[in-house]
Amino acid sequence: MYRLKVLLHRVLDIFPGLYARVLYNGKKRTNASILEELKASQIAEDVLSLKTLPMKGDTCFILGSGASVNDLDKSEWEMISSNFSIGFNFSFLMEHVPDLYFIELAKDDRGLASKLIERKETYQNVPVAIKGLISSSKLDWAKDKIKTLTREVGAKVIMESALPSTSEAALRKGLHQLYNRGKVERDMDVLVQSKASISMMIDIAARLGYRKVVLLGIDLQGPYFYEETNEDVETGQESGTLLIQRESASEMSIAQILKIQSEFLQENKGVTVYAGSVKSLLREFMPIFSFE
């Protein structure tokens, strides 16, 4: 099976543009079908629209869970608060409250949903979005969780799709079709990612019109910020280094994907993606953001 999968990806990569279109349209249709079922079941009717989000400052800060966020001082957090920020997954454990927050659907979410609900008063004015609805198999176990999140924190579902993560050629073709062939204009609220949530957060920042995007706590190595502060949280996540290397014969690493995405956005849209810390492995191919 593994060899067959590798062979399939190699064949598809011969036609990267076709592969990107098929993947995008297929995942988009699956997501649309899931949203229709959720709406018909009266589980989730509200869908996030980026058009409802106001611009705030000239920079978008994206909050990850790496320990480097513990190095930020008061004045730097004040700058973050005066601009637009997006949080996802365990970033809600920070004192800072973002302008937009995403939670990933997972069968074993390590208590993520329940811990978010504990902070619902803090997040009552924050748009909370549920991502990960591009696989119909998730509906078997996800409906109750979605219903709880919509009821408790007013969470909205999102329209979403995917970009290739198999090769640079396929990903670049997908990004080209998205930004240079009008898909963003036609499908403004169909959010996309290539393998990792952080790629979707960057896509959102670019769609919203921010030309400076700063990745905070996206270290790709080392401990998480709540481990350093002895936060009483059991996430089940293992610390470790994610090197800028191919993960397998059929998949690029997250670092490779972010490198390609950031280069494309700089070259084609004038968007600069910054590493937020010298502790991040992203420093190898992204400029370091200066708070000065």
pLDDT tens-digit profile, the chain (292 residues) = 556 656 666 666 678 999 999 999 999 999 999 999 999 999 998 999 999 999 999 999 999 999 999 999 999 999 999 999 999 989 999 999 999 999 998 877 778 889 999 999 999 999 999 999 888 888 888 899 999 999 999 999 999 999 999 899 999 999 999 999 988 989 999 999 999 999 999 999 999 999 999 999 999 988 888 885 544 444 444 444 444 444 455 689 999 999 999 999 999 999 999 999 999 999 999 999 999 8
Question: How confident is the model at residue 239, as a pLDDT?
Answer: 40
Question: How confident is the model at residue 65, as a pLDDT?
Answer: 92
Overall pTM surpassing 0.85 (yes/no): yes
Query: Angle, nearest 10°, between helix axes 254-269 and 197-208?
Result: 10
Domains assigned to the chain: 2-284 (3.90.1480)
> Shortest CA distance to 48 belongs to which of 154, 145, 206, 125?
154
User: In this structure, are residues 65 and 224 in contact, taking their beta carbons and an 8 Å threshold?
Assistant: yes
Q: Which residue has the tokens 């400076």?
A: 212
Return d(Cα 244, Cα 260) in angstroms, integer: 12
In 24-46, which positions are buried (b, 16+ CB within 10 angstroms) versus exposed (e)? beebbebbeebbeebeeeebbee
